[in-house]
């Protein structure tokens, strides 16, 4: 059995245990934390390709071709040459930026060579991907400032001691105009304009500069300069990565394979990509307690993509945990605490993860909502005949519209919490429940809990917002 197989066997046994137990969770986190540094070189070429493909959106031209390239390099006594380009556009890095670093780490631990390209030259153009307007180019001072802390922030996910760094100004700055014209003569403009964001901007009459059109060319020349076997990038970078394949072909090189990574949804559950500008991110420098709390605040439906993005769990282990949730032998809250612990353990270690877990339980799980000051109140006697979506949007103002409130329910973010002297009972309200009258749903919840009206305090929770329901 491979080293990874041994670890999976140990972790699977722990995943079958009571995950509300601190001791079981601590052993699990210790096992999976150690896996982040596990030597994967004993995996076959097929197993390596499958492990990479399991976390990728696409592997082009296919996972089988990736396995073949690994075999070819092994026969020659070398590993693959893997490339990841980063544009130093921000000083602060969040969990979304860690996704390709985790995959890069797996390649590295499989025995392949990694080069990280610092896009100091292309950063002065500005990557137009996903932009609705031109982005101001960065200065040398901007680039130096942003690069200063980047390595330290992503270091928990990637070993920078075993990587080569190159700056693409090395080969792009001396590129001559005649060379560029000769290259552009072989690249159809129609290929550059396949990008949906370019077409949308042109249709809207927005600006589109020649430098933005040349950005994919510049990125592709990075692959030519390094003669890469594989390039990693976000799913939104696909056309840029394919340009690398085309330019390598034009230069008579063997085209690189492309591995695209998922764009991770933010913590607010709206479907938007994790982004600092939207405030739905988890910063890599945030304190352990804040990281744990942010992960605990996400909708349950994000547990699977988050487990895939930031843990070293295999598909088999994730399926085991999710099947336990489905059959109700594992509470979703307990699985989410494990997920939050995984992220904190990656950043700060298992001891810090367990401390953050204990702090969260002390602050939230055992806290009475009656201790929370200035909660909004909704009177069921006055608004009980209104649909819960209307109460959330019109009465409480927790959501901008009834349809937005309905989406919260669809994402398992709507709950009724019944609090008595014996503790709290939480009921997840379905999308259908959200369309029913408030008083009717509350009465059913009380009856289901074996409580009479007035026997406890009722709270309505929409996402992270909370209101007390009176007159039930």
- 427 and 334 within one domain: no
Q: Is the pLDDT of residue 192 over 80?
A: no
- 465 and 357 within one domain: no
90 band by pLDDT with thresholds 50, 70 and 90: low
The domain boundary, picked from 366, 396, 421, lies at 366
61 band by pLDDT with thresholds 50, 70 and 90: very high
Q: Which helix (H) or strand (E) holds 416?
A: strand 414-420
* Residue 43 placed within a domain: no
- 253 and 142 within one domain: yes
* Residue 48 placed within a domain: no
* Residue 432 placed within a domain: yes
- 167 and 287 within one domain: no
Residue 244: the pLDDT is 92
Q: Is the pLDDT of residue 263 over 70?
A: yes
- Residue 252 region by backbone torsions, left for phi larger than 0, else alpha for psi between -120 and 50, else beta: left
* Residue 216 placed within a domain: yes
Q: Say which CATH number the domain at 300 has.
A: 1.10.240.10
The DSSP output letter for 193 is: T
- Please state, in angstroms and rounded to a whole number, the distance separating the CA atoms of residues 280 and 253: 42
- 400 and 283 within one domain: no
Q: Is the pLDDT of residue 367 over 60?
A: no
CB 66 within 8 A of CB 82: no
450 band by pLDDT with thresholds 50, 70 and 90: low
Closest CA to 256 of 239, 231, 293: 231
- 250 and 112 within one domain: yes
Choose between 282 and 366: higher pLDDT: 282
Residue 208: the pLDDT is 75
Helix 303-310 vs helix 332-348: angle between axes, to the nearest 10 degrees?
A: 20
Q: Is the pLDDT of residue 133 over 50?
A: no
* Residue 51 placed within a domain: no
Q: Is the pLDDT of residue 126 over 60?
A: no
- 351 and 246 within one domain: no
Q: Say which CATH number the domain at 390 has.
A: 3.10.290
- 414 and 332 within one domain: no
- Please state, in angstroms and rounded to a whole number, the distance separating the CA atoms of residues 261 and 162: 22
- 377 and 361 within one domain: no
Global confidence as pTM: 0.73
Q: Is the pLDDT of residue 134 over 60?
A: no
Q: Say which CATH number the domain at 237 has.
A: 3.40.50.620
- 236 and 120 within one domain: yes
* Residue 46 placed within a domain: no
* Residue 294 placed within a domain: yes
Cis geometry, peptide bond prior to residue 61 (ω within 30 degrees of 0):
yes
Cite the DSSP H helix spans in 297-369. 303-310, 315-326, 332-348, 350-360
* Residue 39 placed within a domain: no
The domain boundary, picked from 312, 335, 366, lies at 366
The domain boundary, picked from 316, 348, 366, lies at 366
Residue 19 tokens read as: 């995950």
User: How many structural domains comprise the chain?
Assistant: 3
Question: Across residues 112-116, what is the average pLDDT?
Answer: 92
- 284 and 143 within one domain: no
Pair type for strands 465-470 and 457-462 = antiparallel
Q: Out of 15-29, 281-295, 451-465, pick the least confident.
A: 451-465
Residue 131: the pLDDT is 47
376 band by pLDDT with thresholds 50, 70 and 90: confident
Question: Across residues 6-11, what is the average pLDDT?
Answer: 96
Residue 246: the pLDDT is 92
Q: Is the pLDDT of residue 418 over 90?
A: no
- 114 and 188 within one domain: yes
Domain of residue 227, residue span? 56-261
Residue 372: the pLDDT is 52
- Residue 120 region by backbone torsions, left for phi larger than 0, else alpha for psi between -120 and 50, else beta: alpha
Choose between 232 and 121: higher pLDDT: 232
């Amino acid at each position: 059995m491979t080293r990874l197989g041994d670890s999976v066997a140990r972790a699977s046994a722990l995943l079958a245990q009571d995950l509300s137990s601190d001791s079981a969770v601590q052993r699990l986190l210790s096992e999976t934390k150690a896996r982040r540094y596990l030597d994967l070189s004993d995996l076959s070429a097929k197993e390596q390709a499958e492990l990479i493909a399991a976390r990728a959106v696409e592997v082009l031209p296919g996972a089988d071709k990736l396995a073949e390239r690994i075999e070819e390099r092994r026969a020659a006594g070398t590993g693959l040459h893997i490339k990841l380009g980063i544009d130093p556009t921000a000083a602060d890095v969040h969990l979304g930026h860690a996704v390709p670093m985790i995959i890069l780490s797996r390649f590295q631990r499989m025995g392949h060579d990694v080069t990280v390209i610092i896009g100091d030259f292309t950063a002065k153009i500005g990557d137009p991907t996903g932009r609705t307007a031109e982005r101001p180019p960065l200065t040398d001072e901007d680039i130096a400032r942003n690069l200063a802390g980047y390595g330290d922030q992503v270091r928990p996910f990637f070993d920078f001691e075993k990587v080569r760094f190159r700056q693409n100004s090395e080969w792009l700055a001396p590129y001559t105009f005649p060379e560029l014209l000769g290259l552009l003569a072989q690249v159809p403009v129609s290929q550059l304009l396949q990008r949906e964001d370019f077409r949308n901007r042109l249709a809207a009459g927005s600006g589109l500069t020649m430098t933005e059109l040349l950005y994919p060319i510049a990125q592709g020349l990075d692959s030519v300069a390094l003669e890469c076997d594989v390039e990693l990038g976000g799913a939104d970078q696909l056309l840029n990565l394919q340009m690398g394949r085309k330019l390598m072909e034009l230069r008579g090189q063997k085209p690189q394979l492309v591995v695209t990574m998922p764009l991770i949804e933010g913590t607010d559950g709206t479907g938007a990509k994790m982004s600092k500008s939207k405030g739905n991110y988890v910063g890599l420098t945030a304190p352990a307690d804040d990281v744990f709390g942010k992960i605990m605040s996400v909708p349950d439906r994000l547990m699977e993509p988050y487990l895939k993005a930031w843990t070293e769990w295999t598909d088999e282990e994730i399926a085991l945990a999710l099947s336990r949730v489905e059959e109700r032998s594992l509470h979703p809250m307990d699985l989410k605490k494990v997920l939050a612990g995984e992220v904190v353990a990656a950043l700060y270690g298992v001891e810090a993860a367990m401390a953050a877990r204990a702090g969260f339980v002390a602050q939230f799980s055992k806290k009475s909502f009656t201790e929370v000051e200035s909660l909004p109140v909704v009177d069921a006697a006055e608004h009980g005949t209104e649909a819960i979506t209307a109460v959330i949007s019109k009465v409480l103002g927790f959501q901008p519209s009834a349809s937005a409130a309905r989406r919260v329910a669809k994402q398992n973010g709507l709950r009724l919490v019944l609090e008595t002297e014996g503790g709290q009972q939480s009921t997840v309200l379905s999308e259908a429940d959200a369309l029913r009258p408030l008083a009717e749903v509350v009465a059913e919840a009380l009856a289901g809990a074996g409580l009479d009206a007035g026997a406890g305090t009722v709270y309505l929770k929409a996402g992270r917002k909370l209101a007390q329901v009176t007159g039930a």
